[in-house]
Structure 1
Amino acid sequence: MTSREVTAKAAPGSPEWLKMITASKIPSILGISRFKSQFSLWHEMAGNVEPEPISESRQDDFDYGHAVELAAAEYWRYKNDGWVISRGEVQYTDDALEFGNAATIDGRASRGAWRRIVEIKTARDLAEWGDDGSGDVPADYAAQVIWQQLITGWHEPANIVLWPQYGKPKIYAIDYDAQIAAEILARVREWNASLAAGIPPELDDTISTYETVRRLHPEVDGREVQLDPDLAHDYLTAVADDKEITKRLRGLKSRVLDVMGKAQTAVVIDLKIATRTPGRGDSISLRSNTKADPAEIERLAA
């Protein structure tokens, strides 16, 4: 076994950390992250843009998450008699790999010679987490955990403890899959090759990519550039369409909220359509069930 615990951890955001393949980067490398695109991560690792600074509200989320880890670890221990869990995170690296790598584990669970990964996540509710009620872990989080299992060599089923702001904690199990781990490793090697060759991923339509493109060229030099006519046409058409769609969606959200009143969830028969969640102060957020198929509504209502 070539993995070892790291005592001098690279600080997140540091030049050393940016060049390493860490568990948090795996979803973006695979193109399945809900938060950061391949394009954005590539340019950060290439040194073309600085990582986005952590906002005050985001830092508050991190602080809350660290505080929750203590309670979540204790909850996990009660549910797993005979196991002990580390107090605080630990980091491992695999020296057999030809590139810098790290797997930071929220909790290292031990029982004799057995080791198990325990990750802790927070969310306002299951809808925000990504669980549609099926009990399936979101793909980006599952990929992170499989990377951690690969780097540590701990192939016991890992656990994710979800600590929602509303409702009871929930524990998910992630089985190690050697084939998926091998595919992830192959994609990481392709990723490193693209960085070495200076070939970035294709543009996509995510917010993350849009914000990165804006930050790549912050200067304005007064030049004029010719656009492809098709691109210009599509852009102006989309701008006009967006105004109409935004207006229509706002009206539909108002109607849904009006029907819901004080209710938490809106359904058609047993299909969840939307959820009301408390925001800051007296505000209320309406979250749609993006996994619901409109065609299913027609079948249920028939």
Structure 2
Amino acid sequence: MTDTALAGASAPAAGPTVLGWFEPGTTDWHAARANGIGGSEIAAVMGISPYESRFSLWHRKQGLIAPVEESEVMYWGKVHEPAICARFAELHPELFVSMAPTYAAADRPWQIANPDRLIVPAPGADHPVEIVEAKTARDDHGWGKAGTDDIPVHYRAQALWYLDVLQVSRCHVAVLIAGSEYREYVIDYDEAEADLMVAAGAEFMRTVEANERPDIDGHAATFQTIKALPDGQDDIDIEVTAARRDRYFAALDAAKAADEEKRAAAGLLLDEIGTGRRAVHDRKPVATRTVRDGRTHSLQPARNRSTT
């Protein structure tokens, strides 16, 4: 192993298996990941994905709902990926950056990695020493100081998942923020974190094989999955328990109260802003007032709502 390969890690001794070269989002790409867990999916298994829940992912793996449809965010991320990777290569002429296939861990065929780029020891080499991930973001919420490892937690999980599969120690994360600000971050392999994810992934795959459905949670993807599962409608009544009835009614009452409090709080803030553009506290943004035809259109909260 090279100096930059993992030392003493729990990853398999043999190198990863190359599954093939697939364009992300294509039928072949989905097929290669169908019976495993990819880097963008392990966050759902861990309960830290903003896009997918453990419940929704389980149903996708069972073939009960369709693969995730490409959103505008996903589309533009795919479009910008080559340019972001090209910028990384331009800024690091000392590194040899190459395209990457789709991999599976040597003794865990369900652990899938599809890194954006590889860093190889020499031109033409096919074994990576580090990897590169390209990301886009609307703003810098969740992104810390450039050069650190302070990135959104679901992207960190993806990077560590790939490092564990490829048995390399470093992932460079290059991000384009708001279409014009380029930053780089560095994620180094953490054996303890990787072991936790591998164990969680193995347990998730066991539940898929055993047909053990995860519990319903409050994630938006879970609710969308539940809505998508029934096909048609029977003109019948279904008796439910008192506990589920009471929980549903209590949630409706709580949501109504929360909506009323939100409107009151927003009204007080807008009243204080007046004709201004932003509300700030201690020079940190609280909310932004948008205007159409001279009138207030909306009040947009700051992405970072820390009170400290």
What TM bracket, shorter-length normalisation?
0.7 to 0.9
In structure 1, what residue type is equivalent to 2:160?
I
- 1:4 to partner: Cα distance: 3.7
Is 1:74 the counterpart of 2:90? The answer is: no
Is 1:22 the counterpart of 2:34? The answer is: no
Tell me what 1:91 maps to: 102
Tell me what 1:160 maps to: 173
- 1:160 to partner: Cα distance: 0.9
Classify 1:182/1:237 alpha carbon distance in 2 versus 1 (closer, same or farther; 3 Å). Answer: closer
Counting aligned pairs with the same residue, the percent is 23
1:171 to 165, 169, 184: 184
What SS does the aligned partner of 1:241 have? helix
Alignment of 1:118-133 (within 5 A): 118-127=132-141, 130-131=142-143
State how far apart, in whole Å, the 2-side matches of 1:122 and 1:251 are. Answer: 35
State how far apart, in whole Å, the 2-side matches of 1:277 and 1:202 are. Answer: 40
- 1:261 to partner: Cα distance: 5.7
Verify the 8 A CA contact 2:19 2:32 in the aligned structure 1: no
Verify the 8 A CA contact 1:20 1:101 in the aligned structure 2: yes
Verify the 8 A CA contact 1:260 1:266 in the aligned structure 2: no
Tell me what 2:282 maps to: 269
Tell me what 1:299 maps to: none
Q: What TM-score, normalized to structure 2?
A: 0.79
State how far apart, in whole Å, the 2-side matches of 1:32 and 1:277 are. Answer: 31
State how far apart, in whole Å, the 2-side matches of 1:121 and 1:18 are. Answer: 23
- 1:166 to partner: Cα distance: 5.0
- 1:111 to partner: Cα distance: 3.8
Verify the 8 A CA contact 2:37 2:111 in the aligned structure 1: yes
1:102 to 112, 115, 120: 112
CA root-mean-square deviation: 3.1
Tell me what 1:44 maps to: 60
Q: Greater helix percent: which structure?
A: 1
1:5 to 13, 18, 31: 18
Deviations 1:122-165 (A, max 9, x none): 111012xx23669611111101111100111121x211111012
Classify 1:257/1:142 alpha carbon distance in 2 versus 1 (closer, same or farther; 3 Å). Answer: farther
State how far apart, in whole Å, the 2-side matches of 1:123 and 1:167 are. Answer: 10
Tell me what 1:33 maps to: 49
2:300 to 272, 286, 290: 286
Classify 1:15/1:234 alpha carbon distance in 2 versus 1 (closer, same or farther; 3 Å). Answer: same
Deviations 1:266-302 (A, max 9, x none): 4321554346799xxxx87724445514xx4xxxxxx
Q: What TM-score, normalized to structure 1?
A: 0.80
2:73 to 51, 61, 72: 61
What SS does the aligned partner of 1:105 have? coil
Tell me what 2:222 maps to: 209
State how far apart, in whole Å, the 2-side matches of 1:68 and 1:177 are. Answer: 29
What SS does the aligned partner of 2:184 have? strand
Is 1:246 the counterpart of 2:259? The answer is: yes
1:148 to 157, 162, 187: 162
State how far apart, in whole Å, the 2-side matches of 1:175 and 1:260 are. Answer: 48
- 1:262 to partner: Cα distance: 6.3
**Which runs of no fewer than 5 residues in structure 1 stay unpaired?**
297-302
What SS does the aligned partner of 1:142 have? helix
Verify the 8 A CA contact 1:146 1:181 in the aligned structure 2: yes
State how far apart, in whole Å, the 2-side matches of 1:139 and 1:63 are. Answer: 21
Classify 1:234/1:254 alpha carbon distance in 2 versus 1 (closer, same or farther; 3 Å). Answer: same
In structure 2, what residue type is equivalent to 1:68?
H
In structure 2, what residue type is equivalent to 1:96?
D
Query: Which deviates further from its counterpart, 137-146 or 109-118?
Result: 109-118
Query: Which deviates further from its counterpart, 236-245 or 182-191?
Result: 236-245
State how far apart, in whole Å, the 2-side matches of 1:277 and 1:95 are. Answer: 53
- 1:96 to partner: Cα distance: 2.1
State how far apart, in whole Å, the 1-side matches of 2:87 and 2:30 are. Answer: 33
- 1:193 to partner: Cα distance: 1.1
